[in-house]
Amino acid sequence: MIVDRYYYHQLNKQEQAIYKAFYNGAMAHQDIIPIPVRGEFSQESFERIFMAMTRDNPLIYFLNQSACSTASDMFGHIAICPQYFFTKEKVKEYNRKIEKVVNELAGQLHLLECNDYEKELRVHDWICQNIEYDYEGTDKDKISRVIASHNILGVFAYHKAQCEGIAKALKVLLNAVNVKCIVVTGDSVKSGQSVPHAWNIVNIGEVKMRIPYKKNHGTM
Protein backbone atom coordinates (compact mmCIF):
# COMPACT_ATOMS: atom_id res chain seq x y z
CA MET A 1 0.00 0.00 0.00
CA ILE A 2 1.23 3.51 -0.81
CA VAL A 3 0.15 6.86 0.56
CA ASP A 4 0.26 9.35 -2.28
CA ARG A 5 0.66 12.74 -0.57
CA TYR A 6 0.88 14.93 -3.65
CA TYR A 7 -0.67 18.00 -2.03
CA TYR A 8 1.67 17.89 0.96
CA HIS A 9 4.56 18.49 -1.41
CA GLN A 10 2.87 21.60 -2.85
CA LEU A 11 3.04 23.35 0.55
CA ASN A 12 5.91 25.43 1.88
CA LYS A 13 8.06 24.17 4.77
CA GLN A 14 6.03 25.86 7.50
CA GLU A 15 2.75 24.64 6.02
CA GLN A 16 4.16 21.11 5.80
CA ALA A 17 5.03 21.21 9.50
CA ILE A 18 1.50 22.40 10.32
CA TYR A 19 0.04 19.71 8.05
CA LYS A 20 1.95 17.02 9.99
CA ALA A 21 0.86 18.35 13.37
CA PHE A 22 -2.75 18.69 12.20
CA TYR A 23 -2.74 15.19 10.70
CA ASN A 24 -1.33 13.56 13.82
CA GLY A 25 -3.73 15.45 16.07
CA ALA A 26 -6.75 14.60 13.94
CA MET A 27 -5.82 10.93 13.80
CA ALA A 28 -5.57 10.96 17.59
CA HIS A 29 -8.95 12.74 17.77
CA GLN A 30 -7.50 15.60 19.81
CA ASP A 31 -9.84 18.47 20.70
CA ILE A 32 -6.99 21.00 20.67
CA ILE A 33 -4.07 20.53 18.28
CA PRO A 34 -1.00 22.77 18.89
CA ILE A 35 0.73 23.73 15.66
CA PRO A 36 4.34 24.92 15.13
CA VAL A 37 3.59 28.56 14.37
CA ARG A 38 3.43 31.73 16.44
CA GLY A 39 1.91 35.09 15.69
CA GLU A 40 -0.34 35.36 12.66
CA PHE A 41 -1.84 32.39 10.87
CA SER A 42 -4.05 33.34 7.95
CA GLN A 43 -7.36 31.72 7.09
CA GLU A 44 -6.08 31.29 3.54
CA SER A 45 -3.11 29.25 4.75
CA PHE A 46 -5.32 27.17 7.04
CA GLU A 47 -7.73 26.37 4.19
CA ARG A 48 -4.84 25.39 1.90
CA ILE A 49 -3.45 23.02 4.55
CA PHE A 50 -6.87 21.56 5.33
CA MET A 51 -7.52 20.96 1.62
CA ALA A 52 -4.12 19.31 1.17
CA MET A 53 -4.55 17.06 4.19
CA THR A 54 -8.07 15.86 3.35
CA ARG A 55 -7.30 15.30 -0.34
CA ASP A 56 -4.13 13.39 0.47
CA ASN A 57 -5.82 11.35 3.20
CA PRO A 58 -9.43 10.40 2.34
CA LEU A 59 -9.50 8.23 5.47
CA ILE A 60 -9.80 11.49 7.40
CA TYR A 61 -13.51 11.64 6.61
CA PHE A 62 -14.57 12.63 10.11
CA LEU A 63 -13.45 16.27 10.22
CA ASN A 64 -16.00 19.07 9.91
CA GLN A 65 -14.25 21.62 7.71
CA SER A 66 -16.84 24.35 8.22
CA ALA A 67 -16.51 24.12 12.01
CA CYS A 68 -12.71 23.91 12.39
CA SER A 69 -11.22 27.03 13.95
CA THR A 70 -7.95 28.32 15.36
CA ALA A 71 -7.16 29.88 18.74
CA SER A 72 -4.14 31.55 20.31
CA ASP A 73 -2.98 32.27 23.85
CA MET A 74 -1.37 35.38 25.32
CA PHE A 75 2.07 34.14 24.29
CA GLY A 76 1.13 33.81 20.63
CA HIS A 77 0.95 30.00 20.57
CA ILE A 78 -1.62 28.85 18.03
CA ALA A 79 -3.73 25.71 18.02
CA ILE A 80 -6.34 24.22 15.71
CA CYS A 81 -9.66 23.42 17.37
CA PRO A 82 -11.31 20.77 15.18
CA GLN A 83 -14.83 19.43 15.34
CA TYR A 84 -15.49 15.81 14.47
CA PHE A 85 -18.56 14.32 12.84
CA PHE A 86 -18.12 11.08 14.82
CA THR A 87 -16.70 9.94 18.14
CA LYS A 88 -13.30 8.26 18.27
CA GLU A 89 -15.02 4.91 18.92
CA LYS A 90 -17.36 5.37 15.95
CA VAL A 91 -14.42 6.24 13.69
CA LYS A 92 -12.66 3.02 14.74
CA GLU A 93 -15.83 1.08 13.92
CA TYR A 94 -16.14 2.71 10.50
CA ASN A 95 -12.43 2.16 9.80
CA ARG A 96 -12.76 -1.56 10.46
CA LYS A 97 -15.68 -1.74 8.02
CA ILE A 98 -13.85 0.30 5.39
CA GLU A 99 -10.72 -1.87 5.68
CA LYS A 100 -12.87 -4.99 5.34
CA VAL A 101 -14.61 -3.66 2.22
CA VAL A 102 -11.32 -2.56 0.61
CA ASN A 103 -9.67 -5.94 1.28
CA GLU A 104 -12.71 -7.82 -0.02
CA LEU A 105 -12.79 -5.72 -3.20
CA ALA A 106 -9.07 -6.24 -3.80
CA GLY A 107 -9.71 -9.99 -3.69
CA GLN A 108 -13.00 -9.93 -5.59
CA LEU A 109 -11.55 -7.83 -8.42
CA HIS A 110 -8.19 -9.69 -8.34
CA LEU A 111 -6.40 -6.36 -8.09
CA LEU A 112 -3.12 -7.86 -6.91
CA GLU A 113 -2.95 -10.11 -9.96
CA CYS A 114 -3.02 -7.49 -12.73
CA ASN A 115 -1.08 -4.48 -13.99
CA ASP A 116 -1.80 -0.89 -12.97
CA TYR A 117 -3.98 -0.14 -15.99
CA GLU A 118 -6.18 -3.16 -15.27
CA LYS A 119 -6.38 -2.18 -11.59
CA GLU A 120 -7.67 1.27 -12.50
CA LEU A 121 -10.10 -0.11 -15.08
CA ARG A 122 -11.54 -2.74 -12.73
CA VAL A 123 -12.01 -0.26 -9.89
CA HIS A 124 -13.57 2.28 -12.26
CA ASP A 125 -15.97 -0.30 -13.67
CA TRP A 126 -16.93 -1.54 -10.19
CA ILE A 127 -17.82 2.01 -9.17
CA CYS A 128 -19.84 2.58 -12.35
CA GLN A 129 -21.79 -0.64 -11.78
CA ASN A 130 -22.29 -0.45 -8.01
CA ILE A 131 -22.34 3.17 -6.82
CA GLU A 132 -25.34 5.44 -7.30
CA TYR A 133 -25.07 9.20 -7.62
CA ASP A 134 -26.53 10.72 -4.46
CA TYR A 135 -28.89 13.44 -5.67
CA GLU A 136 -29.81 14.24 -2.06
CA GLY A 137 -26.17 14.70 -1.08
CA THR A 138 -26.50 18.49 -1.03
CA ASP A 139 -29.77 18.61 0.93
CA LYS A 140 -28.84 20.43 4.15
CA ASP A 141 -32.00 19.08 5.78
CA LYS A 142 -30.42 15.63 5.52
CA ILE A 143 -27.04 16.40 7.06
CA SER A 144 -26.00 12.76 7.53
CA ARG A 145 -26.45 12.23 3.78
CA VAL A 146 -24.38 15.32 3.03
CA ILE A 147 -21.55 14.11 5.28
CA ALA A 148 -21.44 10.61 3.77
CA SER A 149 -22.00 11.72 0.19
CA HIS A 150 -18.87 13.88 0.10
CA ASN A 151 -16.48 11.36 1.57
CA ILE A 152 -15.62 7.68 1.35
CA LEU A 153 -18.43 6.56 3.66
CA GLY A 154 -20.91 7.19 0.88
CA VAL A 155 -19.18 4.61 -1.32
CA PHE A 156 -18.04 2.01 1.21
CA ALA A 157 -20.97 2.13 3.63
CA TYR A 158 -23.98 3.17 1.52
CA HIS A 159 -23.02 2.62 -2.15
CA LYS A 160 -24.26 6.14 -2.85
CA ALA A 161 -22.17 9.31 -3.13
CA GLN A 162 -21.45 12.45 -5.09
CA CYS A 163 -18.37 13.03 -7.23
CA GLU A 164 -16.12 14.07 -4.32
CA GLY A 165 -16.91 10.93 -2.33
CA ILE A 166 -16.42 8.74 -5.40
CA ALA A 167 -13.07 10.35 -6.26
CA LYS A 168 -11.81 9.92 -2.68
CA ALA A 169 -12.91 6.28 -2.58
CA LEU A 170 -11.12 5.55 -5.86
CA LYS A 171 -7.93 7.03 -4.38
CA VAL A 172 -8.25 4.78 -1.33
CA LEU A 173 -8.75 1.68 -3.47
CA LEU A 174 -5.91 2.38 -5.90
CA ASN A 175 -3.44 3.47 -3.21
CA ALA A 176 -4.27 0.22 -1.38
CA VAL A 177 -2.97 -1.74 -4.37
CA ASN A 178 0.08 0.48 -4.98
CA VAL A 179 -1.23 2.74 -7.74
CA LYS A 180 -0.59 6.48 -7.45
CA CYS A 181 -3.81 8.45 -7.54
CA ILE A 182 -4.83 11.94 -6.46
CA VAL A 183 -8.14 13.76 -6.07
CA VAL A 184 -8.54 16.99 -8.03
CA THR A 185 -11.35 19.53 -8.02
CA GLY A 186 -12.48 22.22 -10.40
CA ASP A 187 -15.49 23.14 -12.47
CA SER A 188 -17.45 21.33 -15.14
CA VAL A 189 -20.08 22.74 -17.46
CA LYS A 190 -23.67 21.62 -17.03
CA SER A 191 -26.53 23.17 -19.01
CA GLY A 192 -24.25 26.08 -19.87
CA GLN A 193 -23.34 26.72 -16.23
CA SER A 194 -20.09 26.08 -14.40
CA VAL A 195 -20.53 23.75 -11.41
CA PRO A 196 -17.99 22.34 -8.90
CA HIS A 197 -16.72 18.87 -9.75
CA ALA A 198 -14.18 16.32 -8.50
CA TRP A 199 -12.27 13.62 -10.36
CA ASN A 200 -9.00 11.70 -10.23
CA ILE A 201 -5.61 11.76 -11.87
CA VAL A 202 -4.02 8.30 -11.88
CA ASN A 203 -0.33 7.67 -12.60
CA ILE A 204 0.02 4.47 -14.64
CA GLY A 205 3.62 3.97 -15.65
CA GLU A 206 4.63 7.15 -17.43
CA VAL A 207 1.02 8.00 -18.28
CA LYS A 208 -1.25 10.13 -16.10
CA MET A 209 -4.91 9.34 -16.73
CA ARG A 210 -7.65 11.83 -15.93
CA ILE A 211 -10.67 9.95 -14.56
CA PRO A 212 -13.82 12.10 -14.31
CA TYR A 213 -17.33 10.95 -13.45
CA LYS A 214 -20.67 11.97 -14.82
CA LYS A 215 -23.80 11.53 -12.76
CA ASN A 216 -24.61 8.43 -14.81
CA HIS A 217 -21.16 7.11 -13.77
CA GLY A 218 -19.72 7.01 -17.27
CA THR A 219 -16.41 8.61 -18.15
CA MET A 220 -16.35 11.81 -20.14
> Which has the higher per-residue pLDDT, 85 or 215?
85
- The Cα–Cα gap between 154 and 150 comes to 7
How confident is the model over 137-158, as a mean pLDDT? 78
| Burial degree of 205 (CB within 10 A; 0-12, 13-18, 19+) | exposed
C-alpha closest to that of 163 among 100, 125, 211, 111: 211
pLDDT at 69 over 80: yes
**Whether residue 106 has pLDDT greater than 80:** yes
Give the pTM: 0.87
CA distance 170 to 183: 9
Q: How far apart are CA 136 and CA 154, in angstroms?
A: 12
E runs forming strands in the chain: 33-38, 69-72, 77-81, 132-133, 160-161, 180-190, 193-204, 207-211
| Residue 151 scores a pLDDT above 80 | yes
Residue 110 clears pLDDT 70, i.e. is over it: yes
pLDDT of 124 strictly over 90: yes
Q: Is the pLDDT of residue 139 over 70?
A: no
Strand bridging mode 132-133 / 77-81: unpaired
Look at residue 2 and tell me whether its pLDDT is greater than 80: no
Report d(CA 184, CA 55) in Å as an integer. 8
Position 220 pLDDT exceeds 50: no
Percentage of the chain exceeding pLDDT 70: 88
pLDDT at 64 over 50: yes
Distance of CA 112 to the CA centre of its chain: 23
